[in-house]
């Protein structure tokens, strides 16, 4: 039983939950994670950290585009019970979500917009850096170049770039009365470093298939996040 009476009581008592989510939250929706043996980072001829870098956008945009188009776009994917339960908590005014995910499934689940930080951006927000003009996802999936030759890209955090809304994310973590890490290896910074501002004594839970390495005092719940959220009462 992943949701023990004690854990349920923590959720019931908390009024300012911050949910910190990663790629494994979306794997039940058919979107691969990054670092597992079947993940996005396996089997690439060039290092994925390079293919998803700002440098690659400048010097190898065609290769970068092909990698992202082939491996990262799942426009038909739908939210699963994890996204849905988290969205319900935001609708009740009791939770906020800071996600590393760029798939917008938290948005599709009707998370309250001002209670969601897309820390690494969105694959579905397309623009041309040359003039900041937006473009449609449909156009982007046809070509990474506009008719006038301007390069298009999603508004995501490439390696070598700074994530979005760091200050706001830090403020949310500082204000939290319960922190819950779900579906992430917790290896990517500065996301993993957000916990440094948590108030002393704030409960921190991790719901993951494996143990995460972190210097912070985390109660680790090892198991399937889908099962956890199916049995969690909101």
Q: Which residues are catalytic?
A: 120
Given CA atoms 189, 65, 47, 78 in this order, what sign does their dihedral have? Answer: positive
Task: Encode 34-50 in three state secondary structure.
Answer: CCCCCCCCCCCCCCHHH
As a 3-state breakdown, the chain gives helix, strand, coil percent values, each rounded to 5, of 35, 20, 45
**How many whole angstroms separate alpha carbon 198 and alpha carbon 191?**
13
Q: Are 207 and 186 in contact (CB under 8 A)?
A: no
């Amino acid at each position: 039983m992943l949701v023990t009476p004690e854990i349920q009581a923590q959720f019931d008592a908390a009024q300012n939950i911050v949910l910190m989510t990663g790629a494994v939250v979306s794997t039940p929706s058919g979107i691969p994670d990054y670092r597992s043996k079947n993940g996005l980072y396996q089997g690439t001829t060039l290092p994925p950290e390079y293919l998803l870098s700002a440098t690659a956008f400048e010097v190898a945009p065609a290769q970068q585009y092909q990698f992202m188009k082939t491996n990262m776009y799942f426009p038909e994917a739908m939210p699963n019970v994890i996204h849905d339960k988290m969205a319900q908590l935001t609708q009740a005014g009791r939770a906020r979500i800071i996600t590393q995910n760029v798939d917008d499934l938290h948005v599709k689940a009707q998370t309250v917009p001002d209670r969601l930080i897309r820390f690494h951006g969105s694959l579905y927000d397309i623009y041309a850096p040359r003039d900041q003009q937006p473009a449609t996802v449909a156009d982007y999936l046809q070509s990474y170049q506009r008719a006038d030759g301007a390069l298009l890209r999603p508004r995501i955090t490439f390696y070598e770039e700074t994530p979005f809304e760091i200050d706001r994310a830090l403020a949310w973590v500082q204000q939290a009365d319960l922190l819950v890490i779900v579906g992430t290896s917790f290896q990517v910074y500065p996301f993993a470093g957000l916990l440094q501002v948590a108030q002393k004594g704030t409960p921190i839970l991790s719901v993951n298939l494996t143990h995460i390495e972190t210097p912070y005092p985390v109660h680790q719940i090892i198991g399937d996040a889908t099962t956890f959220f199916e049995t969690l009462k909101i």
